[in-house]
Amino acid sequence: MRLLILLPLLLISCQQASDSVIRIDMSSQHDEGYFNPENGDKIAIAGFFNDWNPNTDFLKDSDGDWIYEFELKEPADTLEFKFVIRSETNMDLPNSGWELIPNRIIKSSVLTEQNPVFEFNLPWQASSYEDIEFSVSLNNQEVLGFFDPEKDKVIVSGTFLDWDPEGIQLWDDDEDGVYEITMPVQMSSTKPHLFKYRIVKSSDFNGYVPNGGWEQLDDRVLDKEDIQRTYFNNQKRIARFVISEDWLKQTSSAGVKPNDMFQIRFHVGETSYFSDELVKTKTLDYETSVEIPMNIGTVRWEVVKNQSEALSGIYEHIVTHNGALIELD
């Protein structure tokens, strides 16, 4: 198991945060309708440094990420303050726009060392770095042909890395298809981090990989008490169907038209159901992936056009524990 040391990254972070800058994330207040800068609303800061005047010091969002900032000039060792929403259009703001929590009290040194981002009406607690073990199985993606362990790599990224698409690489030291890394993550008690795994293809790859290699599920929530080995996409057993355009043209009575929809129809006992629509890739193949229940050993399926025209007989395939790649060309 590998332990990633990020001391250079931490040093850079501290150097970048040398100024006494107060930051607040106003996205939740905007989503709840209490803060609308498009209507002229502003977020101000009031404390001992400006005689608690809510009309002098306003924070600015310079890059549109809903993080508003205010730089303090010659701050005191200990700061006491609150945020307040100033609005000329919303007269129903709770507490006249002032935060409902007690005055915030923080050391100015914490601003430079930890670079906190406050949230309106939520208390902030100092965050700390904790070693987190990330672990994900790529066996299913290898079987499906989306991951080549000889050429590709898998990374983890999330809010703790500003969703860097190159992320931090995981490693499979014992070659069991499970990739791991242990790395320090700055944790917070007020806002959990989100993350995902991503397959990064080799530079000579020019085929198709879904979603740019990112997992196709909702963002994972980082819970240091509940990080455990998982499967890429949380899908244990997948069948990937790849149907060539030539095969579809030869078997369809009217050829392939732009508005045609192709699907896989599955037969389970006396019932049947359809897959999602097959997607045309730049390799001129049509494909889709379907999670197969663990209690089904042999998959019975056929290719169907526009949910009415069967283009094949019923095929049968055994899907292994890690999935199967099924092709028609």
Residue 193 tokens read as 């981090």
Nearest CA among 130, 129, 95 for reference residue 113: 129
What's the CA gap between 21 and 111, in Å, rounded?
7
- 50-82 burial: b if 16+ Cβ within 10 Å, else e: eeeebeebebebeeeebbbebebeebeeebebb
Q: Domain spans of the chain?
A: 17-119, 128-234, 238-328
pLDDT (tens digit per residue) in 28-59 = 999 999 999 999 999 999 999 999 999 999 99
pTM above 0.75, yes or no: no
Quickly state the pLDDT bin for 261 (edges 50, 70, 90): very high
325 has a pLDDT exceeding 70? yes
pLDDT of the residue at 73? 85
> Is the Cβ–Cβ distance between 288 and 242 less than 8 Å?
no
Predicted pLDDT at 20: 85
Instruction: Count CA atoms closer than 13 A to 310's CA, side-chain side.
Output: 9
**pLDDT tens, position by position, 263-277:** 999 999 889 999 999
Q: What is the mean pLDDT of residues 199-211?
A: 87
Q: Which CATH number fits domain 238-328: 2.40.50.220, 3.30.2130.30, 2.40.50.100, 2.60.40.10?
A: 2.60.40.10
Residue 15 pLDDT class (50, 70, 90 cuts): very low
Q: For 131-154, what is each residue's pLDDT tens digit?
A: 899 999 998 888 888 899 999 999
Please state which CATH class domain 128-234 belongs to: mainly beta
Q: For tokens 């803060």, name the residue.
A: 35
- Written as six digits, the tokens of 262 are 């192709």
In single-letter form, the type of residue at position 313 comes to G
pLDDT at 225: 63
Q: How many other CB atoms sit within 10 Å of the CB of residue 169?
A: 14
Beta bridge partners of 327: 242
Pick the more confident residue, 286 or 145.
286
CB count within 10 Å of CB 266 equals 19
Share of the chain above pLDDT 90, in %: 53
Among 1.20.1300, 1.10.150, 2.60.40, 1.10.4160, name the CATH number for the domain at 17-119: 2.60.40
* pLDDT, position 9: 44
3-state class (DSSP) for residue 100: coil
Same fold, 17-119 and 128-234: yes
Q: List the strands of the sheet with 67-71, edge to edge.
A: 67-71, 21-25, 117-119
Question: Do 197 and 226 form a contact (C-beta atoms < 8 A)?
Answer: no
155: three-class secondary structure by DSSP: strand
Hey, what are 290's tokens? 């379907």
Q: What are phi and psi of 210, to 5 degrees?
A: -60, 140
Residue 107: alpha-carbon gap to chain centroid = 33
CA angle in degrees (0–180, nearest 5) for 5-6-11: 140
pLDDT of residue 189: 63
Q: Which band of pLDDT confidence, cut at 50, 70 and 90, is reported for residue 294?
A: confident
What is the rounded distance in angstroms from the CA atom of residue 81 to the CA atom of residue 75? 12
